[in-house]
Structure 1
Amino acid sequence: MFADKPVLVGSRVTLRPVGPEHAEGLFELVSDAEVRRLTGSHGEIDLEASRRWCATRADHDDRLDLAIMAGDAYVGEVVLNEYDPANLSCNLRIALLGSRVFGRGYGTEAIELVLDHAFTTTPLHRVSLEVHAFNERARHVYKKIGFVEEGVLRDALRWDGEWHDSVVMSVLRREWRARSGSLQ
């Protein structure tokens, strides 16, 4: 499904296939306390594990891992994964480097670029995601892009001794086409 690892160019960001050159950026991303909280990431990886991960992304046809680049700077990643060929669906996840790159439109444009690619070059019908209920900024961005809230996973995340819900959202091909004015 994702054998083609494209470079997608927008006005703010360029999405490039994740490779070994992105390992230090990914390590910084997964080491940021605020990013870990927003993504609910309990696990930790070291720089060597980040290098191994980045070096193998091109080998996976069932997912698309793209580095979000602002000029020459790594500012995050956007991923299509959990591909379900029987139902033509997959999951989307995104993480930005941290507060110094939040609020610049990088995430919005990265998601729009990857959804446009997914819905115009693949047979995908549905792209879904989960977002923690406390992450209002992300929920706002997803709704603005066209994702629809489908339901709540109650107490899906335990963070610092507190339980938090996760919101399930998705966008369908026909919704994306209507939003983007695509004739495909």
Structure 2
Amino acid sequence: MISDDVFATVPTLTTERLRLEPLGPEHFEGSWAALQDEESMRLTGTQSTFTEDQIRTWLAGLGDRHDRADWAVIRLEDGTHIGEVVLNDLDGQNESMNLRIALSGDAARGRGYGTEAVRAVLDHGFDTVGLHRISLDVFSFNPAAQRVYEKCGFLVEGRQRHTMNWDGEWVDSILMGILATDPRGV
């Protein structure tokens, strides 16, 4: 069983090209810019609009949330905030969580940053936190993200039909999961 306050302290994770640091108020500019990126909004299925005050309040409250981990994805080369990656929906009894990631801007997508960030979070979730299962869903119009998840070891577990209406068209969700005992890809 995993405690509901497992993320009382969210660690900084470092990879070859990225630093994943706890997301907070100091990341407002990057978070706000991501919410202005139409392609990022589409790929993540974000249909809501937010005010600056709502985002500032959300970021300020993350430090008090001990049942989830939100990281800003920072490119080491130039210190640019290129997205966020999150473990949320903790089910401590069943040692499972959900993963989501959003990279914003053309300079962030298609360069392997997503794969690098997801692998770091999987390693932390399984090897440090002690999770048994991490799951996610990805919209069917985002096959690039599905390939990233598969490279990291996620397996397709199912499909939910017509989970979102985007610009008048129904979109399916692909359900994916990985267990601590599964290979994590190459």
> What is the TM-score when the length of structure 2 is the normalising length?
0.92
- Paired position in structure 1 for 2:3: none
Which of 109, 121, 125 is the equivalent residue of 1:114? Answer: 121
Query: How far apart are 1:123 and its partner, in Å?
Result: 2.2
Distance 2:127 2:44 in 1: 28
In 2, are the aligned partners of 1:27 and 1:46 still within 8 Å (CA)?
no
Is residue 2:24 matched to residue 1:19? yes
Q: Kindly provide the CA deviation profile for residues 15-44 of structure 1, in whole angstroms up to 9, marking residues without a partner as x.
A: 000111101111111221111111111101
- Paired position in structure 2 for 1:76: 83
> What is the TM-score when the length of structure 1 is the normalising length?
0.93
In 2, are the aligned partners of 1:149 and 1:169 still within 8 Å (CA)?
yes
- State the secondary structure of the residue aligned to 1:108: helix
Distance 2:69 2:117 in 1: 13
Which of 140, 151, 154 is the equivalent residue of 2:158? Answer: 151
The letter for the 1-side match of 2:38 is A
4+ runs of 1 displaced by more than 3 Å?
178-181
Q: Kindly provide the CA deviation profile for residues 35-92 of structure 1, in whole angstroms up to 9, marking residues without a partner as x.
A: 1111111101122221111111111110000000002110000000000112111100
In 2, are the aligned partners of 1:13 and 1:69 still within 8 Å (CA)?
yes
In 2, are the aligned partners of 1:153 and 1:168 still within 8 Å (CA)?
yes
Which of 104, 114, 126 is the equivalent residue of 1:97? Answer: 104
Query: How far apart are 1:180 and its partner, in Å?
Result: 7.1
Question: Which structure features the higher share of helix residues?
Answer: 1
Instruction: State how 1:24-173 maps to structure 2 within 5 Å.
Output: 24-71=29-76, 72-173=79-180
- State the secondary structure of the residue aligned to 2:48: coil
State the number of aligned residues. Answer: 179
CA RMSD of aligned residues (A): 1.3
- State the secondary structure of the residue aligned to 1:174: coil
Distance 1:42 1:29 in 2: 13
Instruction: Give the % identical residues.
Output: 47
Distance 1:166 1:79, change over 3 A: same
Gaps of 5+ in 2: 1-5
